[in-house]
A and B are shown apart, each in its own frame.
Chain A
């Protein structure tokens, strides 16, 4: 349960990452820092932050919200069997 609560944190996290990809609070600011407008530096930092958080999401909360369930299929295999195969298939990456 605690895990599930933690998963829900990702929704506001993604929302914040999207909304502040544009630094609205710097609107009209024209300071140049180290050769670039200061909001270009914000962009640099923000993309790096996104990459770090995306990597954490991929490691810890991947598959959340997917719940893919094909139900009993014609040949009698069930969705769970599909998931197990999936887990095994992901053991090694194909080039």
Chain B
């Protein structure tokens, strides 16, 4: 398969995604609620797939199979526990409550909700600032994933920086054009597409290696430890801390948290809730088993490439491998543009307008949003060129940073007694401590597989409660604004 055809398929797919975004743009109204939240009108299928495709980033799609290839298929269980069950429960506990509050009060961002509850612009800016800080490595992760994907597909003919640059250009263009409705529409197309191609890939690979039993047999022969649950990387500490930090972290991602506001009705949320574990099952088992099976197959994964493109190139026709990579890149793009879209709403609504220019015109705000997105994506691109770790490592760092926000936020949503200072202490202290752990290489990040972020989450909750009890609520704060009326 020639390089031209491979690149043609990839770029062609990205252009189709862009066209869907443009179509959505044409039906959109020019209000902030419509641009950022698609008018709070999404139905079950679109909500399910936009949330799913947003989760389905480079981390899931390439990082997961890579980890299964290197350490065994237990990642299926970690992602099942975290994504299939824990995230679904948190979607109800945090997301459904935010949806109820957001619809009654018209909030567009988490910072806006919290800022209004505590009548504190500072808290609003703090939440937005912390979110943007951790969004940075996660955008970077998408660029790294795209770069590695094209290296794997083209056997190094397209350099790493080329793939990373390609996706950067597309995502900036996309966010500038489409808004939430466009993002949600393309997510739906891409989610369905990815789900189908993964299964086609499984059938293709299995039929060329002689079936399910033969593939697993070869895997066990090459890596006897793969069939056994646990062992190696997968200590109980690693499994529990990954599942908890990722699930809580995901709820605080700007692009996921903002999706909590967009359901059209309660019925949509109920259906999505029940269908969620099935979707997780249908995608993760085949995707991660492909990675694990590859360990028993005679393939050579070049340094810095992902296992999935290499495997597909070997066992499926070139055009199909290119199509899967295109789909995966589109999935990364759909995660990235959601991130940048939500990031830009945090930047303009929670930072720029309240702190810099309260009288800014809509046009000026839109301009700030687009310049902000371009700048943010470019800086992340430059940082991604340094390859600071594996996809899983970089993703984990971002997830844990976000996870530390969750305990204070849950308390603010359910507990009348939370005060502004309680929130500030519960957010700032764990964030500073975690940043030190991340930035100072001499400090350990985990103990026997247990991530220190777990302890910091407990600290965040304890500080929020303790400082709230010790301080008095601001007289202008009002828990009724988030539905905490009578006790």
Contacts and interface: CB of A to CB of B under 8 A. Distances in A.
B274 A58 contact: yes
Given A22-B77, A68-B104, A51 B277 contact: yes
B480 A71 contact: yes
B230 A28 contact: yes
A14 to B, nearest CB: 5
Interface in A32-57: 32, 34-37, 39-40, 43-44, 46-48, 50-51, 54-55, 57
Interface stretch (B11-19, B212-220, B312-320): B212-220
A48 B282 CA distance: 11
Contact of A35 (B211, B231, B485): B211
Given A36-B212, A89-B265, A93-B268, A71 B281 contact: no
Main secondary structure of the interface of B (DSSP, over half): helix
A69 B483 contact: yes
A86 B80 contact: no
Given A35-B211, A43-B285, A68-B101, A27 B229 contact: yes
Interface residues of B, number: 61
Interface in B56-94: 73, 76-78, 80-81, 84-86, 88-89, 93
Interface of A: 14, 17-18, 21-24, 26-32, 34-37, 39-40, 43-44, 46-48, 50-51, 54-55, 57-59, 62, 65-71, 79, 82, 86, 89-90, 92-95
Given A47-B80, A68-B97, 6 more contacts: A22-B78, A54-B88, A66-B100, A70-B104, A89-B265, A90-B265
List the 6 closest A-B pairs by CB distance, nearest first: A69-B485, A35-B212, A68-B483, A21-B81, A30-B228, A58-B270
Interface of B: 41, 43-44, 73, 76-78, 80-81, 84-86, 88-89, 93, 96-97, 100-101, 104-105, 211-213, 215-217, 220, 224, 226-231, 236, 239, 243, 264-268, 270-271, 273-278, 280-281, 285, 289, 480-481, 483-486
